Amino acid sequence: MALSSTLPHNRAPRPAARGLSHRAATVLRALTGRHWTLHAGAVVLVLVIAVLLLTPWIAPYDPAHQDLAHRLAAPSAQHWLGTDQLGRDVLSRLMYGGRFSVSIAAITLVLSVVAGTVIGAFSARRGGIVDEIVMRTTDLFISIPDVVVALFLIAAFGAGYGILIAALTLVGWTPFARLMRGLALDINSREYIEAAEALGCSKTFIIFRHVIPNALRPVLSLGFLRFGHKLITVGGLSYLGLGVQPPDSDWGAMLLDAQPYMEHVPLLVIAPGATIFITALSVTLIGHGLELKRKRRADAV
């Protein structure tokens, strides 16, 4: 028998292989078309919010309960993430602390979105010297870091939950005002705005009935993208001792308490740090997915 007859001949791909590759391509297109970042971020965020809302019922221990006999204990069946330097359950403190961290970031973000959207819309609608003053004020606040404003307010009024929210809101509205102004300037040139003006509608009515609703999608996308920044800022301020005060605690305060023990018990730092990262990443993915969805809709028009 000739040598060539013993060699395998190239064959066409089997139908099963072609079907497998076709299914893989279909799944890939489905993930891309359905904005997988949006869905992935939403799933993680829903899980985080569900855990935080159910914390009083599912947390294994009181976050303030101390057990000095079992301080700095390793993870076990009784304490899934171990205990801290005072014998407090890390998982329980993580769950209760998240309620403060996420709520502060969420409240600050909502106030910033509302204030920035209204200010930007009115600035674009009024124009002239009013618009110039608002934009220069926006530039001023954008140039000031959140931490500096927080330090000033805390030095003047003392640390606390409300002061932290006020400090972050005071400078947090500026990106939304700048974005809203640009969108409103474009919307103000549309024909339906001219028709509303011809019918005698007031500027306030036009802003809240036509301008803001037609600019909400990009504003909301930016809001989700900014949530991670808010959450990390809240954690950073608490790490500096400027956030929630004892006996309450949040993720940033847990990082501060764990710093002296991070070499021997690294989980004390990893747990709150990873939680901040995962939560911030999930909301950022939602914002990224919303922005991609908006751009694809705009391209399709």
pTM (predicted TM-score):
0.80
Residue among 297, 120, 135, 134 nearest 219 (CA): 120
Virtual CA dihedral for 180, 182, 184, 185, nearest 10 degrees? 160
DSSP state for residue 66 in the 8-state scheme = -
**What average pLDDT does the chain have?**
82
**In this predicted structure, what is the pLDDT of residue 157?**
79
183 contacts: CB under 8 Å, gap ≥ 6: 120, 214, 215, 218, 219
Give the single-character DSSP code of 259: G
237-260 burial code (b ≥16 CB/10 A, e <16): bbbeebbbeeeebbbbbbbbbbee
Mean pLDDT across the stretch 261-265?
87
pLDDT higher than threshold 80 for residue 19: no
* DSSP code of residue 144: S
Using pLDDT thresholds of 50, 70 and 90, give the confidence band for residue 17: very low
Are residues 256 and 107 in contact, defined by beta-carbon separation less than 8 angstroms?
no
Give 111-166 pLDDT, tens digit per residue: 999 999 999 999 888 888 988 898 888 888 888 877 787 778 877 877 777 888 88
**pLDDT at 229 (0 to 100):** 86
Confidence tier at 210 by pLDDT (50, 70, 90): confident
* Tokens (6 digits) for 163: 């002061």
Cα–Cα distances in angstroms (integers) from residue 184 to residues 103, 117, 131, 213, in the given order: 30, 10, 12, 10
196-218 per-residue burial string, b: 16 or more CB within 10 A, e: under 16: beeeeeeeeebbeebbbeebebb
pLDDT band of residue 35 (cuts 50, 70, 90) is low
Count Cα neighbours of 53 within 13 Å in the Cβ-side half-sphere: 6
Pairwise CA distance, residues 154 & 159, whole Å: 5
In the prediction, which pLDDT does 276 show?
92
Question: Which residues face 21 on adjacent strands?
Answer: none
Terminal CA-CA length for the chain: 67
